[in-house]
Chains A and B, each alone.
Chain A
Amino acid sequence: MMLNEITIGQYFPGRSLLHRMDPRVKLVLTFAYIFAVFVPRNWAGLSVAAGFLLFTVILSRLPVRLVFKSVKPILPVILLTSLLNIFYVTGGVHLFDWGFIHITTKGITTAAFIAIRILCLISGSSLLTYTTSPTTLTDALERLLSPLKVIRLNVHELAMMMTIALRFIPTLIEETDKIMSAQKARGADLESGGMMQRVRALIPILIPLFVSSFRRAYELATAMECRCYRGGEGRTRMKQLHMKTADVVSVMFVLLLIALLFYLNYTLPSVL
């Protein structure tokens, strides 16, 4: 079933250095890396940024193929931006002229540059979700956002809602799969027919899905009340987050990376 192919936001358990890192640090460093990817203005800088990503993938001990798989769904976007760049950016040597279409060396360079940038961006952020379980991730988010309590933002409840939402994604996918199978067993035709027919074919799937989502929500609420859940105040945690040497080292490593990228920008000519 195609629903099993969705890997974005999926967690792959493991014991690698990346898996064991403090999720807060990992989250901040991922954002730092996303920032870093936008720094380079020349090929040397971009290769360093891409090389860093490859290094972290190796550290995570996940199959490289998996990381590439995360890119697959957004390939059309990358292709489209590349095409737009090729046609709209002009400068350098004209390679091809036909009417209003001009393809220039600069256009191709920009297109390739931005494509690689987006690739790094997506694989970098999916590496975060691959190596961090959703609960740890929201836990980290809650901690990082906790200063916002000052402006009366209920960070705990926000994080709890996110945890629950993330927790139920696989459950809902599984449920959808099951309902689809059940209706297919009764001869539901989901694959053929025109636009309207296909939309109508979704009704036997969406209605049971809504009904079961509401049922699950009620059950969960009851279960939480039974265990005396009453919000974040005074709540302690079973798993405390601790920063370790590895975390400090990786922070310094990423800072160095960003410094290096700026230095390369400064010393080498820009290609954009």
Chain B
Amino acid sequence: MSVIETRNLNYTYSPGTPFRRDAIKDISIKIDNGDFIGIIGHTGSGKSTLVQHLNGLLRPASGQVFLNGKDIWEHPKKIREVRFQVGLVFQYPEHQLFEETSYKDIAFGPSNMGLDADEIDARVRRAAKFVGLREELLQKSPFELSGGEKRRVAIAGVMAMQPQVLILDEPTAGLDPKGRDTILGQIKEYQQENGSTVIVVSHSMEDIARCAKKVLVMNRGRIEMFDQTPAVFSRADELGAIGLSVPAVTRIFMILRARGYDVGDNVYTVEQARDRLLPLLKKGGDA
């Protein structure tokens, strides 16, 4: 059963002014429970607009969003409930921190849910553990932390609501390679341990290849592809035509194949490449 479904979503920014801009057009997707979805697309392709529809921050001009089979706009007054079930981490989420301590900031979401103090405490500590925040950092002001730590506090703030669906908009933007790896690993771990659905918007094909099971490709507000990760990355030419690309490793393997080396296809991560190349090198060395 699909946890999120959209039917013919349309949205326009600043309708009726010279700045009018169609953001998304006719989006119909189904996302299954427990899936890990990657969304890729050019800047301005409507990725961020789409994810803001999924938790009811934006109300579609036309079309519907279903959460567990129910139209989320059926009772507009209860839209807050939807936001607790579909957690959204914005781009540069560290800009939204405001509390005196990181602990209180992570507790902001759970306390808005009206949980009791013990439950809030348990959730905050659990979320902090997921993103690897040490106990002493929790008692510090979020403004004293480093960039990567701030980002982790902000992500924990949404994880602490324990949403059924966790959406992250460019969670690794502006981080160093080590920070990227850490955060992606933590998100993956969170998904496996909770069995929740995770949607990650990213510009990095490497990030998507590493964690996403399915990939949604957007172009000019429309869905270009929505398929299993290998199937999407095997269409390198089409991706190139809309200004996207495949992971660098995949490109290397395509060139190797074009030059007549029998390395096979479907290689999207460095680990896969290692596993594929090592036996070949060994064979070559023996011969």
Would you call B14 and A4 a contact (CB within 8 A)? yes
Q: How many residue pairs between the two chains, A and B, have CB atoms under 8 Å in the bound complex?
A: 62
State whether the Cβ of A187 lies closer than 8 Å to any Cβ in chain B.
yes
Expressed in whole angstroms, the Cα–Cα distance for A188 and B112 within the complex equals 6
The A185-200 residues at the B interface (CB cut-off 8 A) are 185-189
Would you call A182 and B80 a contact (CB within 8 A)? no
Would you call B95 and A179 a contact (CB within 8 A)? yes
Residues of A contacting B285 with CB < 8 Å? none
The B78-118 residues at the A interface (CB cut-off 8 A) are 80, 83-84, 87-90, 93, 95-98, 108-109, 112-113
Task: Give which listed residue, A4, A13, A178, A185, contacts B83 with CB less than 8 A.
Answer: A185
Would you call A204 and B108 a contact (CB within 8 A)? yes
State whether the Cβ of B215 lies closer than 8 Å to any Cβ in chain A.
no
Residues of A contacting B55 with CB < 8 Å? 185
State whether the Cβ of A12 lies closer than 8 Å to any Cβ in chain B.
yes
Would you call A185 and B143 a contact (CB within 8 A)? no
Shortest Cβ distance from residue A167 to the other chain B in the assembled complex, whole angstroms: 17
Would you call A189 and B93 a contact (CB within 8 A)? no
Q: How large is the interface on B (under 10, 10 to 19, 20 to 34, 35 or more residues)?
A: 20 to 34
Would you call A204 and B98 a contact (CB within 8 A)? yes
Expressed in whole angstroms, the Cα–Cα distance for A212 and B113 within the complex equals 27
Given A187-B109, A187-B112, A211-B143, does the pair A182, B84 have CB atoms closer than 8 Å?
A: no
Task: Give which listed residue, A12, A178, A186, contacts B108 with CB less than 8 A.
Answer: A186
Would you call A212 and B95 a contact (CB within 8 A)? yes
Would you call B161 and A186 a contact (CB within 8 A)? yes
Task: Give which listed residue, A179, A184, A212, contacts B57 with CB less than 8 A.
Answer: A184
Expressed in whole angstroms, the Cα–Cα distance for A83 and B212 within the complex equals 64
Task: Give which listed residue, A4, A179, A189, contacts B96 with CB less than 8 A.
Answer: A179
* Chain A residue nearest to B18 in the complex (CB): A12
Residues of B contacting A179 with CB < 8 Å? 95-96
Shortest Cβ distance from residue B205 to the other chain A in the assembled complex, whole angstroms: 26
Would you call A189 and B17 a contact (CB within 8 A)? no
Would you call B158 and A185 a contact (CB within 8 A)? yes
Would you call B96 and A187 a contact (CB within 8 A)? no
Residues of A contacting B57 with CB < 8 Å? 181, 184-185
Q: How large is the interface on A (under 10, 10 to 19, 20 to 34, 35 or more residues)?
A: 20 to 34
Task: Give which listed residue, B80, B98, B161, contacts A203 with CB less than 8 A.
Answer: B98
Residues of A contacting B80 with CB < 8 Å? 187, 189
The B107-149 residues at the A interface (CB cut-off 8 A) are 108-109, 112-113, 143
Expressed in whole angstroms, the Cα–Cα distance for A14 and B89 within the complex equals 38
Shortest Cβ distance from residue A57 to the other chain B in the assembled complex, whole angstroms: 15
Shortest Cβ distance from residue A257 to the other chain B in the assembled complex, whole angstroms: 29
Task: Give which listed residue, A66, A185, A208, contacts B87 with CB less than 8 A.
Answer: A185
State whether the Cβ of A207 lies closer than 8 Å to any Cβ in chain B.
yes
Residues of A contacting B269 with CB < 8 Å? none
Would you call A186 and B109 a contact (CB within 8 A)? yes
State whether the Cβ of B191 lies closer than 8 Å to any Cβ in chain A.
no
Would you call B84 and A187 a contact (CB within 8 A)? yes
Given A66-B17, A207-B98, A208-B96, does the pair A184, B83 have CB atoms closer than 8 Å?
A: yes
Interfacial residues, chain A to chain B (CB-CB below 8 A): 4, 12-14, 66, 178-179, 181-189, 203-204, 207-208, 211-212
Closest 4 CB pairs of A and B: A187-B112, A207-B98, A186-B109, A182-B96
7 more CB-based (< 8 A) A-B contacts, given A183-B96, A185-B57: A4-B14, A66-B17, A178-B90, A186-B108, A187-B161, A188-B108, A189-B112
Interfacial residues, chain B to chain A (CB-CB below 8 A): 13-14, 17-18, 52, 55, 57, 80, 83-84, 87-90, 93, 95-98, 108-109, 112-113, 143, 157-158, 161
Q: Can you list 22 pairs linking A and B with CB atoms under 8 Å apart?
A: A4-B13, A66-B17, A178-B95, A179-B96, A181-B52, A181-B57, A182-B90, A183-B96, A185-B55, A185-B83, A185-B88, A185-B89, A186-B108, A187-B84, A188-B108, A189-B80, A203-B98, A208-B96, A208-B97, A208-B98, A211-B95, A212-B95
